[in-house]
Structure 1
Amino acid sequence: MNPTTNDTTTGTASVTGLPDGAALGTRRRIVLRRALVVAGATAAALALWTLAGPLRGSDLAVRSGGIDRTVGPGAVAAAALLAGLASWALLALLERLVRRPGRAWTITATVFLALSLAGPLSSTADATTKIALAGLHLVVGATLIPGLGRSARRR
């Protein structure tokens, strides 16, 4: 019995059965890239929120459940971070299930982005707030979709 096993991701063999150092380095680079994309999407959303709200001298307020709520930096960061982490998880799932995960990711994420725009655009907020909130969705999507899509690994 031969203790050497093949690593299907790199085509290299390891006596321990674990991926070789190059494969671990590649995985670390992918994780780092994806983490930076998620952080970048969050930072971009906060930057836009700053421009659309505090620097403009107004609050982004929406009516939810009969109550007016101000959309603050915590909510913006949490929503962008949650969207980014969910996106990363979806891409990881697609990498296991489909042959071309990058393409499947891009199509799926674009559909979800389009659907997410229904919230701000159908709200009862004023036009400026609707545009700002839709802009937040778009800036997060415009960061996550290509950023995560380029990191997809084929099966």
Structure 2
Amino acid sequence: MLSGMNTSTKRILTVAGASAAALAVWVLAVPVAGIPLTVRMGAGTQLVGPGLVLVASLLAGLAGWALLAVLERLASRPGRIWTVVALVVLVLSLLGPVGGAAGAAALLVLALMHLVVGAVLVLGLARR
């Protein structure tokens, strides 16, 4: 299906798909399941809404794409290097929900969102 598209179009769709996947998890967790998705911020808490999910996932996707573009110009095996870096960043990103989630349900949902975005980006961006 994507074979007729150029690389940039595929990557745009991958970044958009990662954001859509994160929003799908949010919709299933918050409005459908009724899980209050909150994180600790300083002395209080903040609700994680769809806007925050969209912005964070788009920024992650665009940063990953930018890194891959740089590696494609400088490295002999950019896909392999990018995949390793992306997986390390994904694992490190899980420290955010572990340290910031307000409750076990929020931790599970936030970790799932990180994993879903990471999976879409790792599988989608590294392909040639």
TM-score range, shorter chain: over 0.9
The one-letter code of the counterpart of 1:75 is: L
The answer to whether 1:31 aligns with 2:18 is: no
Give 5+ residue unaligned stretches, structure 2.
none
Structure of greater Rg: 1
1-structure distance, mates of 2:20, 2:102? 24
Report the CA distance between 1:124 and its aligned residue.
Answer: 5.0
Percent sequence identity is 55
Counterpart of 1:112?
Answer: 89
Alignment of 1:18-97 (within 5 A): 29-97=6-74
Match for 1:116: what amino acid? S
Is 1:136 the counterpart of 2:113? The answer is: yes
Secondary structure (helix, strand or coil) at the match of 1:53 reads helix
Cα RMSD for the two superposed structures = 1.3
In the TM superposition, structure 1's runs of 4+ consecutive aligned residues that sit over 2 Å from their partners are none
| Total equivalences in the alignment | 125
TM-score (norm 1): 0.77
- Note the C-alpha offset of 1:123: 2.4
2-structure distance, mates of 1:82, 1:73: 14
Deviation at 1:92, TM superposition (A): 0.2
- In the alignment, structure 1 residue 127 sits paired with structure 2 residue 104: yes
- Give the Cα–Cα distance (whole angstroms) in 2 for the partners of residues 52 and 120 of structure 1: 15
Q: Secondary structure at the match of 1:69?
A: strand
Is the contact between residue 18 and residue 120 of structure 2 (CA under 8 Å) also seen in structure 1?
A: yes
The structure that is helix-richer by fraction is: 2
CA distance in 1 between counterparts of 2:96 and 2:62 reads 20
TM-score between the two structures when normalised by the length of structure 2: 0.93
Q: CA deviation at 1:59?
A: 2.4
User: Match of 2:70, as an amino acid?
Assistant: L
